[in-house]
């Protein structure tokens, strides 16, 4: 699907800039097609072909898109690795993936990964010369035969234990996602900005329709609120795409009234719940309606959503209804439907749902039941058909749109010399939605570690967004009858007591 689309865009939108980097580098749609062809020829010289796996340990840059398109032209599978991961986190994902080729901007110790080639990619800054060492000119890449079941990309998420899992998507699912999101439309787009990492499902599975829209995407090296507002103002961007914490930061920008937001027609957010007061403030700030979207990596980034013309009951307190082409239901522990208003696990079904977890048939069997995806989220449906999220079946929480798994953090923090026991739980936060609190049983109650010490201890093994932002010192962790940590009690205590 991707090869056909990028070749058509080279004709339909030839000289239109497809991407513009923060330092001014740009690439047109015709260049995107031509240069990805040359990168594909280089990849082929490395022995890659249909079914090969390419890991992109790259920032969200033009080179990432070129590499993804090049791999697709060969029938190879692309997996994005979050650039915010530490080296140890990247290696953990690569162990699961076992790629044939790794493209990276930094050194990666591949000694434990047998028969994996690692190639450096030079990220263009002001030169405008993209991937000069990873291209071969004047070679023909033949069109692939049509195959709706050809694997295209792997998007990594994590299970309830924090173990990396790769959701596999084929041409069939990418086509379904394009249909759900846009109806398969071509053209009609102006300027937009990249609001998520390219390794995210929001780019990996949606690139076909993003290209087909013929728009210009502005790249941002590090997300900051004021430059985004300036982009919206300067380029008359019609849709504010952001997770709720990002919108909260936009509202805090001083002197924002100097910008003209009359171009904004909608705010669309996913990744984290938006508090009602934030939705109201955001709508007033941009003078535009706000649609809250609910989805997951496994669902292909499509699921539920509130309508742009929804009343306050739907817009402020729910995640809306299933989008066109998506079915949703609430099930009990036995997989049986529950009555309206009863809490259960939210299940989704659509043609966009992943094929499987990469190299993990056991988790796949547990997660996909007769075409239905078990999301792991607890919810109920009201009498109007809207869905309300109420919690999670796992202990995972979301900070700024990123999934946080306590067990992963606890394993790292527990190695601190001053800690006897530790549990990580979420705390509500006005900007980030939720932040992590480390509940600690110190070895010496009169000399506990500080937040700064814990963050310094863990920062080499954990991405910054996973590090705890507060601590609470206790004499013992509450436990249930099975002698397991009672996290519900910890959360209840967290909600009603002063914190450090």
Of the listed ranges 15-19, 63-67, 88-92, the least confidently predicted one is 88-92
pLDDT at res. 493: 62
CA dist., res. 135 & res. 66, Å (int): 10
pLDDT at res. 368: 98
Strands 151-158 and 164-170: antiparallel
Compute the mean pLDDT over every residue in the chain, rounded to the nearest whole number.
90
Whether the predicted pLDDT of 124 surpasses 80:
no
**Domains plus CATH for the chain?**
1-221 (3.40.50.12780), 399-496 (3.30.300.30)
pLDDT at res. 162: 62
Mean pLDDT of all residues in 312-334: 95
Of the listed ranges 390-404, 441-455, 482-496, the least confidently predicted one is 482-496
> What pLDDT band is residue 174 in, cutting at 50, 70 and 90?
very high
Whether the predicted pLDDT of 258 surpasses 50:
yes
> What pLDDT band is residue 496 in, cutting at 50, 70 and 90?
very low
pTM here is 0.84
User: Long-range contacts of range 137-146, CB-CB < 8 Å, 24 or more positions apart?
Assistant: 137/38, 137/41, 139/38, 139/41, 139/44, 141/37, 141/40, 141/41, 141/44, 141/73, 141/74, 143/3, 143/4, 144/3, 144/50, 144/73, 144/75
> What pLDDT band is residue 175 in, cutting at 50, 70 and 90?
very high
Of the listed ranges 10-14, 40-44, 105-109, 461-465, the least confidently predicted one is 105-109
User: Long-range contacts of range 85-91, CB-CB < 8 Å, 24 or more positions apart?
Assistant: 85/463, 86/459, 86/460, 86/461, 86/462, 86/463, 88/460, 88/461, 89/461, 89/462, 89/463, 90/57
> What pLDDT band is residue 126 in, cutting at 50, 70 and 90?
low
> What pLDDT band is residue 158 in, cutting at 50, 70 and 90?
low
Contacts of 8 (CB under 8 A, 6+ apart): 212
Mean pLDDT of all residues in 32-43: 97
Mean pLDDT of all residues in 47-74: 96
> What pLDDT band is residue 195 in, cutting at 50, 70 and 90?
confident
CA dist., res. 319 & res. 430, Å (int): 19
> What pLDDT band is residue 293 in, cutting at 50, 70 and 90?
very high
What does the pLDDT look like over 216-248, one tens digit per residue? 999 988 889 999 999 999 999 999 999 888 898
Whether the predicted pLDDT of 307 surpasses 80:
yes
pLDDT at res. 494: 58
Mean pLDDT of all residues in 461-476: 92
Percent of the chain residues topping a pLDDT of 70: 93
């Amino acid at each position: 699907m991707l090869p056909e689309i990028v070749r058509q865009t080279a004709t339909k939108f030839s000289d239109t800039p497809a991407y513009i980097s923060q330092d001014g580098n740009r690439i047109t749609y015709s260049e995107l097609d031509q240069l990805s062809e040359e990168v594909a020829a280089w990849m082929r010289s490395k022995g890659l072909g249909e079914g090969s796996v390419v890991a992109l340990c790259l920032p969200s840059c033009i080179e990432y898109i070129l590499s993804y398109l090049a791999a697709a032209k060969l029938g190879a599978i692309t997996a994005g690795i979050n650039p915010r991961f530490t080296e140890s986190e990247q290696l953990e994902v690569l162990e699961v993936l076992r790629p044939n080729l790794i493209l990276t901007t930094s050194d990666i110790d591949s000694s434990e990964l047998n028969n994996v080639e690692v190639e450096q990619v030079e990220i263009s800054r002001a030169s405008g010369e993209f991937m000069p060492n990873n291209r071969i000119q004047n070679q023909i890449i033949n069109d692939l035969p049509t195959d709706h079941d050809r694997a295209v990309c792997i998007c990594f998420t994590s299970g309830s234990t924090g173990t990396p899992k790769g959701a596999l998507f084929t041409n069939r699912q990418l086509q379904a996602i394009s249909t759900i999101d846009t109806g398969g439309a071509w053209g009609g787009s102006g300027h937009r900005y990249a609001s998520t990492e390219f390794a995210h499902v929001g780019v990996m599975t949606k690139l076909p329709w993003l290209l087909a829209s013929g728009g210009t995407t502005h790249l941002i090296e590090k997300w900051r609120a004021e430059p985004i507002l300036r982009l919206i103002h300067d380029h008359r961007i019609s849709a504010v795409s952001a997770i709720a914490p990002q919108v909260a930061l936009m509202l805090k920008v001083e002197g924002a009234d100097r910008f003209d937001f009359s171009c904004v027609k909608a705010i669309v957010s996913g990744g984290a719940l938006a508090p009602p007061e934030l939705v109201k403030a955001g709508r007033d700030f941009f003078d535009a309606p706000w649609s809250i979207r609910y989805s997951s990596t496994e669902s292909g980034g499509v699921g539920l959503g509130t309508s742009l013309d929804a009343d306050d009951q739907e817009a402020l307190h729910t995640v809306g209804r299933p989008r066109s082409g998506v079915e949703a239901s609430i099930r009990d522990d036995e997989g049986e439907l529950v009555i309206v208003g009863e809490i259960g696990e939210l299940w989704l079904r659509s043609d966009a749902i992943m094929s499987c977890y990469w190299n993990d048939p056991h988790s796949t069997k547990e997660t996909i039941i007769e075409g239905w995806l078990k999301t792991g989220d607890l919810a109920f449906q009201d009498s109007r058909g809207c869905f309300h999220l109420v919690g999670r079946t796992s202990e995972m929480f979301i900070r700024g749109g990123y999934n946080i798994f306590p067990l992963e953090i606890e394993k790292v923090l527990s190695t601190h010399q001053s800690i006897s026991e530790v549990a990580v739980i979420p705390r509500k936060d006005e900007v980030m939605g939720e932040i992590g609190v480390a509940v600690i049983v110190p070895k010496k109650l009169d000399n506990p570690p500080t937040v700064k010490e814990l963050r310094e201890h863990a920062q080499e093994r954990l991405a910054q967004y996973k590090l705890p932002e507060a601590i609470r010192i206790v004499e013992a962790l509450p436990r249930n009858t099975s002698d397991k940590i009672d996290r519900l009690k910890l959360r209840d205590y967290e909600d009603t007591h002063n914190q450090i």
